[in-house]
Structures are given as structure tokens and as C-alpha cells.
């Protein structure tokens, strides 16, 4: 049986709304972020129907991912106790740029705006090779269940999708990091699933 992964990014946070780097520092979901999390849960419910109890929920241990996972569980009528924290899915650590305003960084270092992987220029940033290693280690883990709902992060999720689908450099970094859509990963293919926010 091939593994299927529904990969979600957490909803908008206060730092997201302020256009600040987040990394390992954390902030709670905004009202919009909570609505996004519930919309992802509702879209998942439409995908899974009554079979949600057969799926395993895994989330990054950071608060914003766990908060999103709890809201998704509510929409799926699952208890929050089913969520398993997975440290290998934590966001990339941005070193000295944690909580820094993105516009300020790009104004001070204009070349960043031309580099798709500019985040890894951060002083004391987690090396890209280390991020790849933990993603590959997680994907290859024989203990992983075959039906997974994963709540993680923007940059981590982009890299994970690229590794999973075998994307080249340009294709990997051209991907988006949505908070009002998520991806189904199956047979090395990526399927984007849109969510509908309440009006």
C-alpha cells in the first residue's frame, strides 16, 4: 500500500501578518489564521468523509502548527489527543533573522530579492543540507503510517514537497506556500486542494 500524505501549512500567525521571519520563534494564529485552519479541516472532511478516524495526525511541535492541528481535528470530529508532535517537521531555523521584518532585510540586502532560496543567507541559519537530511529521514521512516495528515510550515513544506516529488532546483523554489490550500502527496505526485473561507 503506497503512502498518502495530506500536507498542510499552519494558518496565518501574528508574525505572518506583520511580514516577519518566523522560523523557530512562534506566534499565535490570527483570526484569519484560525479561519484558514478550520477551512482546511472542512476541505479535508470533504476528502475523507467518514474515514478520518483511519488517518494519523502529525504536526510540528511549534505552537502555531499544533494550534492549527487542533482546529483541523475539530472539523474532522477527532480528539486533539490524536495529534503526534514530530520534531523533524519543525520549520527551518532562521538564526539571527528570526522575527526580522522581510521588507527591512530586502532593503538592507537587495540581492536577497533575486534569490529564491534567500532565507538560507541568514547568519547562523540551519543549513539547507541539514533540513534536507531531516526531511529525507522522515520520509524514509518505515514506522510512518500509510495514511497521514501533516501540519507543518511554509518553507519546510515547500522543501518537503520538492523532495517528495523529485523537483529540480527551479521547480522546487517556484512553489508557493499557501495557507488557504494544502497538498495531497501520493505516488510522488502533488495535488493542490483549495479551501473555501467563510464569507
Please tell me which residue in 10, 86, 98, 153 is annotated as part of the active site: 10
- Rounded to 5 degrees, φ, ψ at 136 are -65, -35
Rounded-to-integer distance, Cα 60 and Cα 83, Å: 10
Are the CB atoms for 154 and 177 separated by under 8 Å? yes
Please tell me which residue in 86, 91, 98, 126 is annotated as part of the active site: 91
The grid cell for 32 is: 484569519
The grid cell for 70 is: 487542533
Strands (E), the chain: 4-9, 56-59, 83-85, 147-152, 181-186, 189-194
Residue 91 bears catalytic tag: yes
Rounded-to-integer distance, Cα 103 and Cα 74, Å: 36
Is residue 29 classed as helix, strand or coil in its secondary structure?
strand
Going by C-alpha positions, the residue among 37, 130, 39 that lies closest to residue 87 is 130
Residue 137 bears catalytic tag: no
Q: Which residues are catalytic?
A: 10, 91
Amino acid at each position: 500500500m503506497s503512502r498518502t500524505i495530506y500536507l498542510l501549512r499552519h494558518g496565518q500567525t501574528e508574525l505572518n501578518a506583520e511580514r516577519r521571519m518566523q522560523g523557530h520563534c512562534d506566534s499565535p494564529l490570527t483570526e484569519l489564521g484560525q479561519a484558514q485552519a478550520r477551512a482546511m479541516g472542512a476541505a479535508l472532511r470533504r476528502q475523507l468523509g467518514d474515514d478520518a478516524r483511519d488517518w494519523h495526525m502529525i504536526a510540528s511541535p511549534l505552537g502555531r502548527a499544533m494550534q492549527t492541528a487542533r482546529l483541523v481535528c475539530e472539523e474532522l470530529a477527532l480528539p486533539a489527543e490524536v495529534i503526534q508532535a514530530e520534531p523533524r517537521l519543525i520549520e527551518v531555523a532562521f538564526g539571527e533573522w528570526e522575527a526580522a521584518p522581510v521588507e527591512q532585510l530586502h532593503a538592507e540586502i537587495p540581492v536577497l530579492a533575486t534569490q529564491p532560496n534567500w532565507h538560507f543567507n541568514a547568519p547562523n541559519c540551519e543549513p539547507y543540507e541539514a533540513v534536507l537530511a531531516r526531511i529525507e529521514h522522515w520520509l524514509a521512516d518505515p514506522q510512518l503510517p500509510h495514511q497521514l495528515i501533516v501540519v507543518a510550515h511554509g518553507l519546510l513544506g515547500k522543501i518537503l514537497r520538492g523532495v517528495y516529488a523529485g523537483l529540480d532546483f527551479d521547480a522546487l523554489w517556484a512553489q508557493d506556500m499557501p495557507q488557504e490550500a494544502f497538498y495531497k502527496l501520493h505516488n510522488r505526485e502533488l495535488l493542490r486542494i483549495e479551501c473555501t473561507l467563510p464569507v
